[in-house]
Structure 1
Amino acid sequence: MADILTLVFRTFMSHSGLKRDLTVSPPTCSTLVVGDHSISRSVLLLAAVTAAAEMGIKVMFFTQTQIQSLPVSLQRCVPNLSPESLKKIKFSYPRTVEELLQQVASLHEPTNTSPTPPSLIIVDRLESFLSGPGGGSQSGFHPMEQSCAAHLAALLCDTAAFLTQVLEQRGSSSAPCRIIASFLSEVNIGHTGGDPSATDPILDVLNRYFQVRCTLDQDRGYQAAAAAPQEVWHVYFSGRGITDSSFTKDCGNSSGVAQEWQLFIFPDGFMEFKLA
């Protein structure tokens, strides 16, 4: 979510930049992180750890790839992470889109809402589920794939709304339940022949359900080369979720346009954010 991601960026903000209070923006319920999957996964893991450690909320993290240990980048960013905070994060490894749908739907069951349901649902690499068995292949942009994407996104939003209601009924300060998912479009990886105007129908479908898009774009220009040895990434917030007056007021952005950050990744894996 834009509020949790903003907290992540502020928490790991460059000391040379303006240090803001570590408060959370007014919550939005769904954010789609679009871009390189290795970087997006690091951002998702940072979001999970920050939500658990800084906000004290339970996190449900869905991914197809087993996580045996925290990445070096995360260990460098959060060296003093407590075991109690990690216990608030539950990892699940569905192999197919059908398994993912079943596991997300099961979050409605009493066994998963007692004593406290998750307040953050994270799905790593949606495209890997949608391109697998049952999800089809993105090549060709078949209507069935778009329907599957819509079904999954709608279920995620419905589940978040249901869990928000449960949290509010119990008077929990962890409400609302948020969703963050990552997606790497075929357009991003050049399968469209380099056409800059090309669009991805699957991404178009997801944009209807996710309120905010967080786009990761690597800077390969002169300034990035001059800033070596670290990688430089631009991080853009856009979408209808950031045009809310309370969000833009909190972010110091009265126009409602996309907010931009920079992400620096150093050779030792350390990640640092800076307002652009």
Structure 2
Amino acid sequence: MTDILTGVFRTFTSKTDVKKDLTVVPASACSALLLGDSSISRSVLLLSAVTAASELGVRVVFFAQTQIQSLPVSLKKCVPSLSPESLKKIKFSYPRTLEELLQQVASLHESQNTSPTPPSLIIVDRLEGYLGGTHSGDKSSAAHLSALLCDSAAFLTQILKERSPSSAPCRLIASYRSEVDSDYAGGESSATDHILDVLDRYFQMRCTLDRDRSYEAAAAGLQELWHVYLSASSITEDCTTDSETRPAVAKEWQLLISADGSMEFKMA
């Protein structure tokens, strides 16, 4: 199983991209940090959860600080025939504080959360809501939370492997919006965000969403156009299974949102 984000991009690729070589995907990674506007990042996280549940048939646990009342219009457009059985594979949890989130992530080690099948994907929406500002205490909290998330994913991977040696590892995706600079041109912030520095030490891949506000995007009849930059962090451990090969890296995709709310991806 390639990483979930790449699977989403390929599943919902623009029809105009069908002749392109879509086998060029980011290096397989167990953890990814999604950076950018919170509204679009939540849509991508939900699309990842739905893709994992419906296309791969795996269990997903989705942590969010605010309750998700309904699926975004864009997601309904992408997956119009989403079955209730697929949605049942996604467990939504709503911890309101960092302490509650830590407790709920730690509970993933308990037997009731690994039986009959442990989750294969952990998603955390809007880390900034749990981590607050950029002082040293928040950096410690960021390190504590990140370490616990990675440890939980590793623990669940071990359980999955024990039950089926060919199982893919448990993946981890979290979103974060920096208070320092909301525009990550080309995946780089123009100022230092110490929380982001900490997160980058734990998450293997960074996926940055940068909105294109140019005239060309509007002239193309798109409601929104986002550049999706993919880059590896300093962590180099490979999470591919024995049956997987480590693919090349695609540096940029584009996310196109039409006037009717439908979403599709294309390689830049």
2:195 to 198, 202, 212: 202
Instruction: Give the structure-2-normalised TM-score.
Output: 0.88
Structure 2 counterpart of 1:144, one-letter code: G
Cα shift readout 1:230-263 (whole Å, capped 9, x = no counterpart): 2110001101468969899634x4xxxx610000
Q: Percent identity?
A: 67
Q: 1:27 deviation in Å? A: 3.9
Verify the 8 A CA contact 1:7 1:22 in the aligned structure 2: no
Within-5 A mapping of 1:153-172: 153-171=146-164
**In structure 2, how many angstroms separate the alpha carbons of the residues matched to 1:26 and 1:173?**
19
Verify the 8 A CA contact 1:212 1:242 in the aligned structure 2: no
Q: Who is 2:139 aligned against?
A: 146
Q: Who is 1:99 aligned against?
A: 100
Verify the 8 A CA contact 1:187 1:198 in the aligned structure 2: yes
RMSD: 2.6
Q: Who is 2:255 aligned against?
A: 263
Q: 1:159 deviation in Å? A: 0.4
Q: 1:266 deviation in Å? A: 1.4
Structure 2 counterpart of 1:15, one-letter code: K
Cα shift readout 1:170-197 (whole Å, capped 9, x = no counterpart): 116543111000000012338xxxxx63
**In structure 2, how many angstroms separate the alpha carbons of the residues matched to 1:68 and 1:207?**
31
| Bigger mean CA offset, 153-162 vs 11-20 | 11-20
**What is the aligned residue count?**
258
- 2:247 is equivalent to residue 250 of structure 1: yes
Q: Who is 2:74 aligned against?
A: 73
Aligned CA distance change for structure 1 residues 83 and 174 (closer, same or farther; 3 Å): farther
**In structure 1, how many angstroms separate the alpha carbons of the residues matched to 2:121 and 2:239?**
23
Aligned CA distance change for structure 1 residues 9 and 24 (closer, same or farther; 3 Å): same
SS for the counterpart of 1:209 is: coil
Aligned CA distance change for structure 1 residues 266 and 22 (closer, same or farther; 3 Å): same
**In structure 2, how many angstroms separate the alpha carbons of the residues matched to 1:149 and 1:142?**
11
2:219 to 212, 223, 226: 226
Structure 1 counterpart of 2:138, one-letter code: E
**In structure 2, how many angstroms separate the alpha carbons of the residues matched to 1:230 and 1:199?**
31
Structure 1 counterpart of 2:148, one-letter code: L
**In structure 2, how many angstroms separate the alpha carbons of the residues matched to 1:89 and 1:22?**
28
Cα shift readout 1:73-96 (whole Å, capped 9, x = no counterpart): 111110001111111000000000
Cα shift readout 1:146-188 (whole Å, capped 9, x = no counterpart): 0000000000000000010011011165431110000000123
Q: Who is 1:30 aligned against?
A: 31
**In structure 2, how many angstroms separate the alpha carbons of the residues matched to 1:32 and 1:166?**
24
Verify the 8 A CA contact 2:30 2:239 in the aligned structure 1: no
- 2:210 is equivalent to residue 217 of structure 1: yes
Q: Who is 2:17 aligned against?
A: 17
Aligned CA distance change for structure 1 residues 60 and 146 (closer, same or farther; 3 Å): same
SS for the counterpart of 1:213 is: strand
**In structure 2, how many angstroms separate the alpha carbons of the residues matched to 1:142 and 1:185?**
13
Which runs of 4 or more aligned residues in structure 1 lie more than 2 Å from their structure 2 counterparts after TM superposition? Answer: 18-27, 172-175, 187-190, 240-251
Q: Who is 2:186 aligned against?
A: none
Structure 1 unmatched runs, 5+: 132-137, 191-195
**In structure 1, how many angstroms separate the alpha carbons of the residues matched to 2:149 and 2:23?**
28
Structure 1 counterpart of 2:10, one-letter code: R
Verify the 8 A CA contact 1:230 1:267 in the aligned structure 2: yes
Verify the 8 A CA contact 1:212 1:237 in the aligned structure 2: yes
